[in-house]
Amino acid sequence: MQQDKQNTHQKNPKVGEIYELCNTISPFNTQESWDKSGLNLGSFHNEYTDIVLCLEVNLAIALSLKPNTLLITHHPLFFNPTAQMITDTYPHNIAAILIRKNCSLISLHTNFDKSHLNTYLTHQILQWHHFVPSEDGLLMSGKIPPISLQKLAQDVCKKLNAPSVSFVQGDDITFLNQESQASHTNDAITEAYVVCGSGCSLLSQIQPNPHICLLTGDIKHHDAMMAKSMGISLIDIGHYESEKYFVEIFDSILQNVGYNAIIMDCKNPFYFCQAKHQ
């Protein structure tokens, strides 16, 4: 009897398989309540042909994707609810392109901050290996050898390979309340907190101290004024600079379990210039 020919057609893997892998290494139920991590676009049942990794999807990346691509990003495409989908405005213009190409999008944001990114930034990039996470994983903290705020900012800028960082000197409340200010000599930073992305909303979790510094991105003017009045120093390390490591971390994770990904560079949307003053 003639044997049936084996079906040589192999089905492509499905989005749901990668979603489950993501959920295993960085559970989506640990994301912040306001976050939109998870499957942003597509279907768990969609088959994909390529995996593309990037910090976030922009218009250039969306246009360059092949059909049936699975895109994995740190930043979700959608944050705010919408009642309309106007496809010539962000982010719906990007979503429309992905839908036309039958692409799927999975994002790992604050859940990945907690499980991987904060630790990687602090231990591997800043080289503070002894720092420990807070209970929710959003804050890394530890003691550091006494150093001036300006010198610390310079060191951090170099380690991040950033074009610049800005810093805010916290007020020494005890010193300002003293009648005599002659004894104030030591403003060294001896303890640091690290939050990748935008972390000034966590200032309330830090006990004010003139020797403490918070390193995070997206520091607004009013954040700076609040921290300064609390006696906490700040270094703005940049949102992009603090999270750009997502791609290399996740690429390593995928390779360890047998998946290959295409890395697409999503550059910092900000450019920096320095004016020459006379």
Binding region: 74-75, 113, 239, 243
- Residues that constitute the known binding site for a divalent metal cation: 74-75, 113, 239, 243
* Residue whose C-alpha is closest to residue 140's, from 120, 111, 157, 167: 120
Number of helices followed by number of strands (H, E) in the chain:
10, 11
Query: What b-and-e string marks burial along 200-238, b requiring 16 or more CB atoms within 10 Å of the CB?
Result: bebbebbeebbbbbbbbbebeeebbebbeebbbbbbbbb
User: How many Å apart are CA 38 and CA 262, to the nearest integer?
Assistant: 20
CA separation (Å) from 139 to 12, 51, 121, 273, 277? 40, 30, 11, 31, 39
CA separation (Å) from 171 to 32, 211, 214? 31, 10, 14
CA separation (Å) from 50 to 13, 105, 110? 10, 12, 25
